Amino acid sequence: MSAIGQWAACASPVLRDQFLNALDGSDHALLRDLATHLQTCTNTLPSATCLLLGLPQGSTYAVGALAVIKRQS
């Protein structure tokens, strides 16, 4: 399924939770790996995570993943 066109990509709840836990635990290696799998996820990040990443409220996991990748490069 592609985020382009009529289909939206939604990552599994398990993957999204792992991303949030890695972010909370400052596990940079795991976070970078998980972020690569969330680059097309259209699910909305929790408000607290948006704040933590300096993103507007309502940002998607894809936006959060790209922010993480950009910070670690």
3 assigned to some structural domain:
no
pLDDT tens for residues 21-70? 999 999 999 999 999 999 999 999 999 999 999 999 999 999 999 999 99
User: Looking at the 3D structure of the chain, how many domains does it have?
Assistant: 1
Report pTM: 0.84
Please give the single-letter amino acid code of residue 69: I
- What does the DSSP assignment read for 32-65? HHHHHHSTTB-SBPPHHHHHHHT--TT-BHHHHH
pLDDT at 73: 77
Whole-Å CA distances, 71 to 3, 26, 32, 51: 23, 13, 10, 15
pLDDT at 8: 60
60 assigned to some structural domain:
yes
* Residue 39, domain extent: 13-72
1 assigned to some structural domain:
no
pLDDT at 7: 52
Rounded CA separation 4/32 (Å): 23
